[in-house]
Structure 1
Amino acid sequence: MSTQANSQLSDATGTPAPSRYTRTAMALHWIIAVLIICNVALGLSADSIPDDWVRLVIDTHKSIGITVLGLALLRILWRFSHRPPPLPAEFPSWERVAAHIAHFLLYLLMIGLPLSGWLHDSAWKDAATHPMRLFNLMPWPRIGYVMSLEPTLKESLHNGFGALHTWLGYALYALLAMHVGGALKHQWIDRKSVLKRMIP
């Protein structure tokens, strides 16, 4: 085995590197992925569903977003304490760098999207009279500082955070397409599967 390959399989202390993600990391990855797909579908359908369904769809979208935020933060904490498996040693350096950048941006979006949506919702002019409930099971607070702002400023922030939320959504679509496309390329073209690292 080459020196480069050996460096991928052990750390500075000689501890063998893991070949797969932990079960907790796998569970968080797939739960977050399913929730994001659901939220994309809900977000895109909001303008085409019957009026009677709009409030339910929007409230569910908000609840899923808050859940993704919590799970994403948990996943980041888990990753700091549990070393992920390395990419195959045969991957060129540019591909490794691109993968790390893509993962960093995905984490950023998994936090930025829910936060921008939460800020957007907190700046809604009717937020005080329409309390938010997480999956209609328990109250969920809005951001008090934003709710207490002067109405004109709050309306401006509502529009601004709404636009930011939309553009971050587009960025997420693009990154998800690249993420899935890259994984399939490694699986079918390079014959160097990275999917098996994230499958129980």
Structure 2
Amino acid sequence: MVSSFSVPQRVLHWIMAALILFNLLFTDAMETAGRLMFRGQMLTPEQVSAANIHAYVGITVLVLAVVRLCLRFVQGVPPEPEQEPPFLRVVAKIGHWAFYALFFVMPFAGIGAWYFENKTAAFAHTGPLKLLMWALIAAHIAGALVHQFYWKTDVLKRMTSGR
């Protein structure tokens, strides 16, 4: 039975968190480029380069998600703490798998929008998927804080320093 996340799992978690937060917070270049592109206007090389940073970060998230999912299946994950009520265990499991789904769906929607000029993909990427990602992040942080300060479990330690 696994008692903590492995070092590669922890490193991937935090790298992906940083990359996802970067792409969620710094969207101006891609939004400008997308707006111009969908209007049929030409983009300057600087605009394309700036927008590509967002695209490359998203593609990196997709590749890291594949690695992370493989590690999850090969190395396993620690069990949920017993202090967590059964209903919330189910909610947490759904939330974690929703994250994994978004790690794949959001980059593919972004690829569809940027590289294939698909307006539906652009809408999904910048609208409901982005909103769901923010909601999951907020719930994930809230859950970690509840574990740390209310149930006093080792959940944060398992994803930071290990046991």
Shorter chain as denominator, the TM-score bin is 0.7 to 0.9
**So what's the TM-score if we normalise by structure 2?**
0.84
Query: 1:162 is matched with which residue: 119, 122, 128?
Result: 122
Runs (5+) with no aligned partner, structure 1: 1-16, 125-157
How big is the shift at 1:47?
5.5
**Separation in 2, partners of 1:123, 1:100:** 33
Name 2:9's counterpart in structure 1: 25
Distance of 2:132 and 2:11 partners within structure 1? 24
- Partner amino acid, structure 2, of 1:103: H
Which structure has the larger Rg over C-alpha atoms? 1
Corresponding residue for residue 38 of structure 2: none
CA contact (8 A) 2:3 2:78 kept: yes
1:128-172 per-position Cα deviation (integer Å, ceiling 9, x unaligned) = xxxxxxxxxxxxxxxxxxxxxxxxxxxxxx111100111211110
Q: Which has the higher contact order (CA 8 A, sep 6+)?
A: 2
- Of 132, 139, 157 in structure 2, the residue corresponding to residue 196 of structure 1 is 157
- Give the Å deviation of 1:45: 6.6
1:37 aligned partner, one-letter code: L
Deviations 1:30-89 (A, max 9, x none): 1100100111112257568xx986433311000000000000011001101111011111
Structure 1 window deviating more from structure 2 (28-37 vs 184-193): it is: 184-193
- Describe the SS at the equivalent of 1:115: helix
Paired residues of 1:42 and 1:57 also in contact (CA < 8 A): no
Q: Deviations over 1:93-126 (max 9, x none)?
A: 10110110000000000110000000112223xx
Quick check: which one's helix share is greater? Answer: 2
User: Residue 35 of structure 2 corresponds to which residue in structure 1?
Assistant: none
| Cα distance, 1:191 vs structure 2 | 1.6
One-letter identity of the residue aligned with 2:96: H
State the alpha-carbon separation in 2 of the partners of residues 175 and 19 from structure 1.
24
Please give the secondary structure, in 1, of the residue aligned with 2:27.
helix
Using structure 1 for the length normalisation, give the TM-score. 0.69
Moved over 2 A (4+): 44-48, 51-57
- Give the aligned CA root-mean-square deviation in angstroms: 1.9
Please point out which of 54, 59, 79 is paired with 2:72. 79
| Cα separation, 2, equivalents of 1:88 and 1:161 | 38
Secondary structure of 2:82's counterpart equals coil
Q: Give the number of aligned pairs.
A: 149
- Using a 3 Å threshold, how does the CA distance of structure 1 residues 108 and 29 change in structure 2: closer, same or farther? same
**Structure 2 segments unaligned to the other structure (5+ residues):** 33-42
- Residue 183 of structure 1 contacts residue 193 of structure 1 at CA under 8 Å; is this kept in 2? no
- Which amino acid is the alignment partner of residue 42 of structure 1? F
